[in-house]
Amino acid sequence: MPADVVPGAEGWSVAGGPIGALVLHGFGGSPATVAPVAAALVGAGLSVAVPRLPGHGTHVEDLVPTRFADWSAASEHALSELAASCRRVAVVGQSMGATLACRLAARHAEVVAMVAVNPLVLPADPQLVDMVRLMLDAGEVLADGGAPDLADPEASEIAYRKTPLAAVLSLYEALQELQADLGRVACPVLIMTSAHDHVVDPLNSDHLAKRVAGPVERLVLERSHHVATLDHDRDLVAARTVSFILRGTAAAAPEGRRSGSGDPTAG
């Protein structure tokens, strides 16, 4: 049986207005990681869903058997539920949450705006992938993950300190498959990138900006590290997310984007 959810790491949703926002946390994190952004969206009157992805927010052993397909299915389900009661929907993702957001924006016409905070979208280094496979072949299950990457000494994150190797390998494999989806992201995209990210190379943000088909806005976060949603720039991240989504959803046609509007070869 899964362990009890860590207090503060629960998934949650709020029914608000006809505009919806799906907010997705990253690998090893929890809904608490993106709570300030989600709370700001609620404060702006949006309907908001913040799912706890499978295996997260409990104990790291619960993450060991999960795979990217599980996290993707959970994000699809959350989007479907939100879209059922909202005219227009935006997706927001931090790190791997942005990986999932890209898949949703590429495949669902009801997504009319996307926000990516320190997105993970580049294919993994083949040497890193080989190393993880060798560790798995040697019988290793977990690797040290280190402390959350935060510049603010007063900030903290509910996140695992260990990395399940098979789970992260599934993420690396999904990043390769994601490349075909990026050119199909035709909605407006806001990319926020920490200048000093020690987990995800900022080149991921450049790659995303070049590959998507829709219009792109960018913001560099000078004072934050990888977990920018909880770091020194958390208020800026929240405010820009709210303003971008309100503008993007207002500009979109009520029925959302047309399917197939993206060019798979763009970028």
Tell me if 265 is assigned to some domain: no
Residue 153 forms part of a structural domain:
yes
Within-domain flag for 263: no
* Residue keyed to tokens 């992805």: 53
Amino acid letter, 7: P
Residue 254 is predicted with a pLDDT of 52
Range of the domain at 89: 12-251
Q: Is residue 264 part of a domain?
A: no
For residue 75, is it within any domain?
A: yes
Does residue 262 belong to any structural domain of this protein? no
Residue 198 annotated to the active site: no
Task: Give, as one character, the DSSP assignment of residue 193.
Answer: E
Nearest to 120 by CA among 62, 42, 204: 204
Residues forming beta bridges with residue 92, ordered by sequence position: 23, 115
Two tokens, residue 61: 């052993």
| Active-site hit among 226, 231, 232, 233 | 226
Looking at residue 249, its pLDDT comes to: 87
Q: Which of 220, 198, 217, 201 is nearest to 209 (CA)?
A: 217
Is 199:98 a contact under the CB 8 Å cutoff?
Answer: no
What does the pLDDT read at residue 267? 31
Establish whether 225 is a catalytic residue: no
pLDDT < 50 positions in the chain: 1, 255-267
Q: Quick one: pLDDT at residue 255?
A: 45
- pLDDT value for 53: 98
Total tally of structural domains belonging to the chain: 1
CA distance 262 to 245: 20
Q: Which of 13, 30, 47, 95 is catalytic?
A: 95
Q: At 62, which CATH number?
A: 3.40.50.1820
Q: Which of 62, 181, 197, 233 is catalytic?
A: 197
Residue 4 lies in a domain: no
Residue 32 neighbours by CB distance under 10 Å: 23
Q: What pLDDT score was predicted for residue 253?
A: 53
Instruction: Give yes or no: 197 in active site.
Output: yes
